[in-house]
Amino acid sequence: MLDHSNIKRLAAETGFDLCGVAPCRHLDEGESRFREWIACGYQSSLAYLERNTEKRFDPRLLVEGARTAVVCAVGYKNVVSDGYPAAHRTKIASYACAVDYHTLLRGMLRQLFEGLRETSPELRGRVFVDTAPLAEKLLAVEAGLGWIGRQSLLVTPELGSFLVLGELILCEECDRYDTPFGESRCGTCRACVESCPTGAVMPGRGIDTARCIACHTIEREPAQRIDLHGWIFGCDACQSSCPWNRRAPLHRNRAFDPVFDPRGMDAAAWRKMDETEFERRCGQTPLTRSGLERIRGNIAAEPAARPCDDVRPAPEETDRS
């Protein structure tokens, strides 16, 4: 049987800021809400979200014999997380200024797994860092780390929402589990809703990806054109406005130090950059997911549309929590 205290100790020694432990089960309420969201078409161009819904909300269908979910988080808040000067028109989401978190978290989780195997040599399990359909934010709630904010992100009392998640799904029970986070602490605050420049944050803690700037600048672009409001990779607007993020500390794990500062780069600098310079400056970061050509395209397209052109209006507010 896994030792809860040992898991927490090893996670902290590995460099994780937060760690929670939850039993693997079917997250039926989350699946129901997700299916309603899909039925409304809010996934827009993200067709991959329509697949493997059953597995997404039941870790036991992803890992045979799964019993325990260990959910780990690292805060990444840095010097640009609180926002850019109003005139800056080549904004990068703050997480993308550091080494790709997929690489960092995967290595940390493997180290944690090996540490657990020292006392449980027969332990089986699997590491997850956005590598399979897994409702990691809901698992984090189950593991007591925080709640789902209005902007659909996990919000924690300690780190706000400027964090990245990784999971170990293990085939052994734990001697005890953390208590699920019981309530939203958003209160009546609607800062994230009101700060989203395209109206992508909807009632019910959902995102309309057809309106979402992050989707338009990184994922397969939706058919509708929107104003990118100066963002060329991702968007932090809903997070920078959150009171929980305003009071959150800067990142503590030095592996998440920014490797470049986008505040010193304007449109001319990005246009002048060649592939060699892009690789030197950004090759370890998530920006390689888009690549230099698409980033330049986002710069060129930025003034091409007004907010929410040809996008259906957001539904009326019904979320009272």
Q: Is-contact 45 215, C-beta < 8 A?
A: yes
Q: What is the DSSP letter of 75?
A: E
Range 145-167 burial, b when 16+ CB lie within 10 A, else e: bbbbbbbbbbbbeebbbbbbbbb
Got the DSSP string for 104-120? HHHHHHHHHHHHHHTT-
Count of Cβ atoms closer than 10 Å to residue 291 Cβ: 13
Q: What is the DSSP letter of 174?
A: B
Report the sign of the C-alpha dihedral through residues 93, 94, 96, 101, in that order: negative
How many Å apart are CA 309 and CA 301, to the nearest integer? 14
Strands 68-75 and 163-170: antiparallel
How many Å apart are CA 198 and CA 211, to the nearest integer? 6
Q: Look up 236 and say whether it is catalytic.
A: no
**Which residues are 74's β-sheet partners?**
164
Q: Is-contact 78 97, C-beta < 8 A?
A: yes
- Active-site residue, from 3, 82, 130, 266: 130
How many Å apart are CA 173 and CA 295, to the nearest integer? 46
Task: Write the CB contacts of 295 (distance below 8 Å, at least 6 apart in sequence).
Answer: 232, 233, 270, 287
Active site residues: 130
